[in-house]
Homo-oligomer: A and B are copies of this chain.
Amino acid sequence: MPNPTAAMLVIGDEILSGRTRDANMYHLAGRLTEHGVDLREVRVVADDRAQIVAAIKALRAAFDHLFTSGGIGPTHDDITAEAVARAFDTPIGIRDDARAILAAHYEARGQELNAARLRMARIPEGATLIDNPVSAAPGFILGNVHVMAGVPSIFEAMLASVLPTLAGGAPVLSQTWEVRRGEGDIAGPLSELAARYPDLSVGSYPFIRDGCHGAQIVLRGQDGGRLDAAMAELAELFPA
Protein backbone atom coordinates (compact mmCIF):
# COMPACT_ATOMS: atom_id res chain seq x y z
CA MET A 1 0.00 0.00 0.00
CA PRO A 2 1.40 3.42 -0.85
CA ASN A 3 2.28 5.74 2.01
CA PRO A 4 -0.08 8.54 3.04
CA THR A 5 0.78 11.86 1.37
CA ALA A 6 1.15 15.31 2.88
CA ALA A 7 1.69 18.93 2.00
CA MET A 8 2.89 21.88 4.05
CA LEU A 9 1.80 25.50 3.98
CA VAL A 10 4.22 28.02 5.52
CA ILE A 11 2.49 31.31 6.25
CA GLY A 12 4.52 34.44 6.78
CA ASP A 13 5.84 37.58 5.15
CA GLU A 14 9.12 37.20 7.03
CA ILE A 15 10.14 34.15 4.98
CA LEU A 16 9.30 35.75 1.64
CA SER A 17 11.13 38.98 2.47
CA GLY A 18 14.32 37.07 3.26
CA ARG A 19 14.31 38.27 6.86
CA THR A 20 13.90 34.81 8.36
CA ARG A 21 15.22 31.51 7.11
CA ASP A 22 12.52 28.87 7.41
CA ALA A 23 13.31 26.03 9.80
CA ASN A 24 9.97 24.23 10.06
CA MET A 25 9.94 22.84 6.53
CA TYR A 26 13.21 21.02 7.06
CA HIS A 27 12.05 19.68 10.43
CA LEU A 28 8.67 18.50 9.14
CA ALA A 29 10.23 16.85 6.08
CA GLY A 30 12.54 14.74 8.24
CA ARG A 31 9.88 13.71 10.77
CA LEU A 32 7.34 12.76 8.09
CA THR A 33 9.89 10.62 6.25
CA GLU A 34 10.67 8.76 9.47
CA HIS A 35 6.96 8.26 10.08
CA GLY A 36 6.26 6.89 6.62
CA VAL A 37 4.31 9.87 5.31
CA ASP A 38 5.40 11.26 1.93
CA LEU A 39 5.75 15.05 1.88
CA ARG A 40 4.84 15.94 -1.71
CA GLU A 41 4.59 19.72 -1.81
CA VAL A 42 5.39 22.81 0.23
CA ARG A 43 4.03 26.28 -0.37
CA VAL A 44 5.12 29.50 1.27
CA VAL A 45 2.64 32.37 1.11
CA ALA A 46 2.37 35.84 2.63
CA ASP A 47 0.03 36.95 5.42
CA ASP A 48 -2.68 37.46 2.81
CA ARG A 49 -6.11 36.01 3.43
CA ALA A 50 -7.04 35.20 -0.16
CA GLN A 51 -3.70 33.50 -0.83
CA ILE A 52 -3.89 31.44 2.36
CA VAL A 53 -7.47 30.32 1.72
CA ALA A 54 -6.69 29.30 -1.88
CA ALA A 55 -3.62 27.32 -0.82
CA ILE A 56 -5.47 25.50 1.96
CA LYS A 57 -8.25 24.49 -0.41
CA ALA A 58 -5.88 23.25 -3.11
CA LEU A 59 -3.48 21.36 -0.85
CA ARG A 60 -6.02 19.68 1.41
CA ALA A 61 -7.85 18.41 -1.66
CA ALA A 62 -4.72 17.06 -3.33
CA PHE A 63 -3.04 15.29 -0.38
CA ASP A 64 -4.01 13.18 2.63
CA HIS A 65 -2.72 15.68 5.18
CA LEU A 66 -1.93 19.38 5.25
CA PHE A 67 0.32 20.91 7.91
CA THR A 68 0.38 24.68 8.33
CA SER A 69 3.01 26.73 10.13
CA GLY A 70 2.59 30.31 11.35
CA GLY A 71 -0.03 32.98 11.79
CA ILE A 72 -1.83 31.78 14.94
CA GLY A 73 -0.53 34.33 17.45
CA PRO A 74 -2.31 37.32 19.00
CA THR A 75 -1.27 40.11 16.62
CA HIS A 76 -3.18 41.72 13.76
CA ASP A 77 -1.14 39.86 11.12
CA ASP A 78 -2.14 36.45 12.56
CA ILE A 79 -5.00 35.41 10.30
CA THR A 80 -4.46 31.68 9.78
CA ALA A 81 -7.32 30.40 12.00
CA GLU A 82 -9.80 32.66 10.25
CA ALA A 83 -8.47 31.62 6.82
CA VAL A 84 -8.86 27.93 7.72
CA ALA A 85 -12.45 28.55 8.82
CA ARG A 86 -13.14 30.31 5.54
CA ALA A 87 -11.53 27.54 3.50
CA PHE A 88 -13.86 25.05 5.22
CA ASP A 89 -16.83 27.48 5.09
CA THR A 90 -17.17 26.95 8.85
CA PRO A 91 -17.94 29.45 11.62
CA ILE A 92 -15.16 30.52 13.98
CA GLY A 93 -15.47 31.85 17.51
CA ILE A 94 -13.90 31.83 20.95
CA ARG A 95 -14.09 28.34 22.36
CA ASP A 96 -14.53 27.72 26.07
CA ASP A 97 -11.87 25.03 26.45
CA ALA A 98 -9.30 27.07 24.57
CA ARG A 99 -10.17 30.14 26.64
CA ALA A 100 -9.80 28.08 29.83
CA ILE A 101 -6.32 26.91 28.76
CA LEU A 102 -5.23 30.49 28.12
CA ALA A 103 -6.86 31.82 31.32
CA ALA A 104 -5.03 29.26 33.47
CA HIS A 105 -1.73 29.93 31.71
CA TYR A 106 -1.82 33.71 32.09
CA GLU A 107 -3.30 33.63 35.61
CA ALA A 108 -0.39 31.46 36.76
CA ARG A 109 1.97 34.12 35.41
CA GLY A 110 0.08 37.12 36.72
CA GLN A 111 -0.62 38.29 33.17
CA GLU A 112 -3.86 39.59 31.79
CA LEU A 113 -5.96 37.57 29.32
CA ASN A 114 -6.64 40.65 27.21
CA ALA A 115 -8.51 40.95 23.91
CA ALA A 116 -5.40 40.24 21.83
CA ARG A 117 -4.57 37.05 23.74
CA LEU A 118 -8.20 35.98 23.61
CA ARG A 119 -7.91 35.93 19.80
CA MET A 120 -5.82 32.81 20.25
CA ALA A 121 -8.91 31.02 21.62
CA ARG A 122 -10.74 31.56 18.32
CA ILE A 123 -11.08 28.07 16.85
CA PRO A 124 -13.13 26.97 13.83
CA GLU A 125 -16.19 24.89 14.72
CA GLY A 126 -15.56 21.16 14.84
CA ALA A 127 -11.80 21.37 15.32
CA THR A 128 -9.71 19.35 17.79
CA LEU A 129 -7.14 21.29 19.81
CA ILE A 130 -3.39 20.58 19.59
CA ASP A 131 -1.55 20.94 22.88
CA ASN A 132 1.06 23.70 23.14
CA PRO A 133 3.39 22.82 26.02
CA VAL A 134 5.54 25.89 25.39
CA SER A 135 3.17 28.85 25.51
CA ALA A 136 -0.31 27.35 25.98
CA ALA A 137 -2.09 28.88 22.93
CA PRO A 138 -3.32 25.77 21.13
CA GLY A 139 -3.07 24.68 17.52
CA PHE A 140 -5.94 22.73 16.04
CA ILE A 141 -6.90 20.01 13.60
CA LEU A 142 -9.86 20.51 11.28
CA GLY A 143 -10.52 17.69 8.84
CA ASN A 144 -7.15 16.82 7.36
CA VAL A 145 -5.58 20.20 8.18
CA HIS A 146 -3.15 20.48 11.10
CA VAL A 147 -2.70 24.10 12.15
CA MET A 148 0.48 24.78 14.08
CA ALA A 149 2.60 27.68 15.30
CA GLY A 150 5.47 29.26 13.38
CA VAL A 151 7.92 29.58 16.29
CA PRO A 152 10.13 26.52 15.73
CA SER A 153 10.14 25.24 19.33
CA ILE A 154 6.33 25.35 19.41
CA PHE A 155 5.95 23.91 15.91
CA GLU A 156 8.16 20.98 16.87
CA ALA A 157 6.31 20.35 20.13
CA MET A 158 2.93 20.42 18.38
CA LEU A 159 4.14 18.09 15.64
CA ALA A 160 5.47 15.67 18.25
CA SER A 161 2.00 15.38 19.76
CA VAL A 162 0.23 15.10 16.39
CA LEU A 163 2.46 12.61 14.55
CA PRO A 164 1.77 9.55 16.74
CA THR A 165 -1.96 9.93 16.01
CA LEU A 166 -1.44 9.70 12.23
CA ALA A 167 -1.34 6.44 10.34
CA GLY A 168 2.07 6.08 8.75
CA GLY A 169 3.27 3.76 6.05
CA ALA A 170 6.54 1.92 5.94
CA PRO A 171 9.29 4.41 6.73
CA VAL A 172 11.37 5.17 3.68
CA LEU A 173 14.89 3.81 4.08
CA SER A 174 17.74 5.51 2.35
CA GLN A 175 21.39 4.83 1.62
CA THR A 176 23.90 7.24 0.14
CA TRP A 177 26.93 6.60 -2.04
CA GLU A 178 29.31 9.48 -2.63
CA VAL A 179 30.98 9.69 -6.01
CA ARG A 180 33.92 12.02 -6.58
CA ARG A 181 33.21 12.50 -10.26
CA GLY A 182 31.05 14.94 -12.16
CA GLU A 183 27.45 13.92 -12.71
CA GLY A 184 28.03 13.85 -16.44
CA ASP A 185 30.44 10.93 -16.02
CA ILE A 186 28.01 8.81 -14.05
CA ALA A 187 24.64 9.75 -15.50
CA GLY A 188 24.52 7.01 -18.15
CA PRO A 189 25.22 3.97 -15.92
CA LEU A 190 23.15 5.54 -13.13
CA SER A 191 20.13 5.85 -15.38
CA GLU A 192 20.48 2.15 -16.32
CA LEU A 193 20.69 1.21 -12.65
CA ALA A 194 17.55 3.24 -11.92
CA ALA A 195 15.77 1.34 -14.69
CA ARG A 196 16.80 -2.00 -13.14
CA TYR A 197 15.37 -0.93 -9.75
CA PRO A 198 12.00 0.66 -10.56
CA ASP A 199 10.91 0.04 -6.96
CA LEU A 200 13.64 2.39 -5.65
CA SER A 201 14.01 6.11 -6.08
CA VAL A 202 17.50 6.94 -7.33
CA GLY A 203 18.50 10.56 -6.83
CA SER A 204 21.72 12.29 -7.78
CA TYR A 205 22.62 15.42 -5.85
CA PRO A 206 25.65 17.21 -7.25
CA PHE A 207 28.04 19.20 -5.13
CA ILE A 208 31.22 21.19 -5.56
CA ARG A 209 33.82 20.71 -2.83
CA ASP A 210 37.36 22.05 -2.83
CA GLY A 211 36.76 23.00 -6.45
CA CYS A 212 35.93 19.43 -7.48
CA HIS A 213 32.63 18.10 -8.73
CA GLY A 214 30.97 15.15 -7.08
CA ALA A 215 27.53 13.75 -6.39
CA GLN A 216 25.68 12.06 -3.59
CA ILE A 217 23.71 9.15 -5.03
CA VAL A 218 20.76 8.55 -2.73
CA LEU A 219 18.74 5.35 -2.99
CA ARG A 220 15.36 5.34 -1.28
CA GLY A 221 12.87 2.54 -0.84
CA GLN A 222 11.01 0.41 1.64
CA ASP A 223 12.82 -2.90 1.06
CA GLY A 224 16.20 -3.05 2.77
CA GLY A 225 17.36 -6.04 0.72
CA ARG A 226 16.74 -4.26 -2.56
CA LEU A 227 18.60 -1.20 -1.26
CA ASP A 228 21.57 -3.36 -0.31
CA ALA A 229 21.62 -4.98 -3.74
CA ALA A 230 21.52 -1.63 -5.53
CA MET A 231 24.22 -0.24 -3.24
CA ALA A 232 26.48 -3.17 -4.11
CA GLU A 233 26.00 -2.40 -7.80
CA LEU A 234 26.75 1.27 -7.19
CA ALA A 235 29.97 0.42 -5.37
CA GLU A 236 31.03 -1.73 -8.32
CA LEU A 237 30.09 0.92 -10.91
CA PHE A 238 31.73 3.81 -9.08
CA PRO A 239 34.43 2.51 -6.71
CA ALA A 240 35.26 4.83 -3.82
- Residues of A with Cβ closer than 8 Å to B? 12-22, 25-33, 38-47, 51, 73-77, 106, 111, 114-117, 119-120, 134-135, 151, 153-154, 172, 174, 182-188, 190-191, 194, 201-208, 213, 215, 218, 220
Contacts and interface: CB of A to CB of B under 8 A. Distances in A.
A203 B77 contact: yes
28 contacts: A13-B203, A14-B203, A14-B218, A15-B25, A15-B29, A16-B29, A17-B39, A17-B172, A17-B174, A18-B29, A19-B218, A20-B205, A41-B51, A42-B44, A43-B43, A73-B204, A75-B191, A75-B215, A76-B202, A111-B182, A111-B185, A114-B184, A114-B185, A114-B187, A116-B183, A119-B187, A135-B182, A151-B206
Would you call the interface of chain A mostly helix, strand, loop, or mixed?
Answer: mixed
A73 B206 contact: yes
- How many copies altogether? 2
A59 B228 CA distance: 40
A153 B42 CA distance: 23
Contact of A17 (B120, B134, B220): B220
Nearest to A40: B46
